[in-house]
Structure 1
Amino acid sequence: MQITILYLQENIRQQALANIFGTSQPTISRAINNVLNILDMVLPPPPRPKDLRPWRLYVLDGTLVPCWWWKETRSLYSGKHHKAGYNLQILADQAGEIFYISPPLPGSTHDITAIRHTGLFNHMPSWHCTVDKRYIGLGCNTPFKRRPGKPLLD
């Protein structure tokens, strides 16, 4: 379990874990896969958009999950964060309970494109979501945007 947590949370390579624990990389790989298979059986399946409660009010935001970057896979690079990773869209209620995590998309994917790709708003009204300025144009509750050259609103 400790090896799997180090591998997933700290993004330590399997060869480095093998050196730390005094074993081989194939043994580390088998250990990680065994724990992940057990977790797949024990944990409930992730929520899907059709499982949402459409009458609830939600908060939606995107995040970048960092990963190793291979130069051949330029789509993983996020110019906003200046690192490689995968774009995830996370939907939570206003108390912080997570209701939905989208499938990963390349880090270069803009948040609006990522949320449109999920089909989330086919299962709930978009105005039930509070979002940041990156989602303007979807019909969600967004903050006011100051007009160029104008003072901030009260």
Structure 2
Amino acid sequence: MIIRNHRLTGLSTDVIAELIAEVGPLWHERHLDRLASRPRKRAVGAGAKYRLVFVDRLLVTLVHLRHGSTHDVLACWFGVDRSTITRAIGEMRPLLAERGCTVSPRVRLRTLAEVVEHLGAGGKTGIIDGTEIRVRRPAAGRKDRDRFISGKNKQNAVKFMVVTDGEGRVLWCRPTEPGSCADITHARQSGLVKLLVDGPAVEILADVGYQGLAARTGGRVVTPQHRKFKKNAPDGYEEMYERQRKEHSSLRIRVEHGIAHIKNWRSLTRHRGRREHMSDTVQAVAGPLSHRQTADLIPAQQR
């Protein structure tokens, strides 16, 4: 029932089948390595068997990411203990995060360098933007507690950068940073400037938060023009400025659509778990989402 109903997992049956075929062997291999990594009195495979098989573990994780369901609710639904659900999600989330974003049946993007190379090879335009997710406030007295306060929304948050193509398909999500990190700092720390300067000729559209990167990348990062006149502007300047700003906004609106698709997964609407898991959670959502977007564009017989 869960596999057939895409509203529960956010994915079609074909995409889930591909996830099972790809992630299953990786999970089994890591499971055996974990069992063999410590001294044992019984052979690997002996003892009690898992009550929650691999397919159920994958479905539990997808439902948790899609709807933000608590571990207690999922435990009641699947008839196991809450700790079993917590362990299952902790095992599956990194595996989903490591898959990267799918842009074609044989192309998987895992790093920003691969994204820039993919855009350059296809002569495509990329779009970047940062977004925030509200998180729990760090405990009083914790070091760097104020770093999580967003200067924009005045709340405790983490921030991550999203890269999409001109159609709004998610290509990459950067690991999260505390909410006080500026968008342009996030881009610099990811190595975007060096990749654009030394790599293929790629145009990247960005908003005003990235102004300043154009000069450092030879104009490959395109941002709205600075407002040159705040007072006593020449005749026609305001009209020209607004026209240029709207034209740029209409081109980069696709990244906002991509971010909206990511945040439709309720685990990223407001995160109530451990902040240390946020990067894996973001990338675990971006991977299946991009897989679904690609599957929607490619007929089944070509996959």
Q: Report the TM-score, using the length of structure 1 for normalisation.
A: 0.76
Listed as ranges, the matches of 1:38-49 within 5 Å are 39=96, 43-44=99-100, 46-49=109-112
Q: Which has the larger radius of gyration?
A: 2
Whether 2:182 is the aligned partner of 1:101: answer no
Question: What is the aligned partner in structure 2 of residue 91 from structure 1?
Answer: 163
Question: What is the aligned partner in structure 1 of residue 211 from structure 2?
Answer: 136
Whether 2:218 is the aligned partner of 1:145: answer no
Deviates more, 1:111-120 or 1:143-152: 143-152
Are the structure 2 counterparts of residues 20 and 38 from structure 1 closer, same or farther at C-alpha, using a change threshold of 3 Å?
Answer: same
Distance 1:37 1:131 in 2: 29
Deviates more, 1:109-118 or 1:19-28: 19-28
Report which of the two has the higher share of helix: 2
- Note the C-alpha offset of 1:142: 1.2
Listed as ranges, the matches of 1:4-153 within 5 Å are 4-5=61-62, 7-11=64-68, 14=71, 24-36=81-93, 39=96, 43-44=99-100, 46-51=109-114, 52-53=116-117, 54=120, 55-71=123-139, 72=142, 73-125=145-197, 128-139=203-214, 140-146=221-227, 147-149=229-231, 150=233, 152-153=238-239
Distance 2:85 2:113 in 1: 37
Task: Give the counterpart letter for 1:48 in structure 2.
Answer: T
Are the structure 2 counterparts of residues 80 and 40 from structure 1 closer, same or farther at C-alpha, using a change threshold of 3 Å?
Answer: closer
Distance 1:84 1:25 in 2: 28
- Note the C-alpha offset of 1:3: 4.2
Report which of the two has the higher share of strand: 1
Q: Report the TM-score, using the length of structure 2 for normalisation.
A: 0.43
2:222 alignment partner, SS class: coil
Q: Deviations over 1:9-51 (max 9, x none)?
A: 455554576578776432221232243365367x357521221
Structure 2 unmatched ranges of 5 or more:
1-57, 101-107, 215-220, 241-303
Task: Give the counterpart letter for 1:97 in structure 2.
Answer: R
- Note the C-alpha offset of 1:68: 2.5
**Percent identity of paired positions between Structure 1 and Structure 2:** 24
Say if 1:11 and 1:67, in contact at 8 Å, map to a contact too: no
Relative CO higher for 1 or 2, CA cutoff 8 Å, sep ≥ 6? 2
Structure 1 unmatched ranges of 5 or more:
none
Deviates more, 1:31-40 or 1:46-55: 31-40
Distance 1:83 1:130 in 2: 27
- Note the C-alpha offset of 1:144: 2.4
- Note the C-alpha offset of 1:2: 5.4
2:239 alignment partner, SS class: coil
- Say what the alpha-carbon RMSD is for the aligned residues: 3.1
Distance 2:109 2:133 in 1: 17
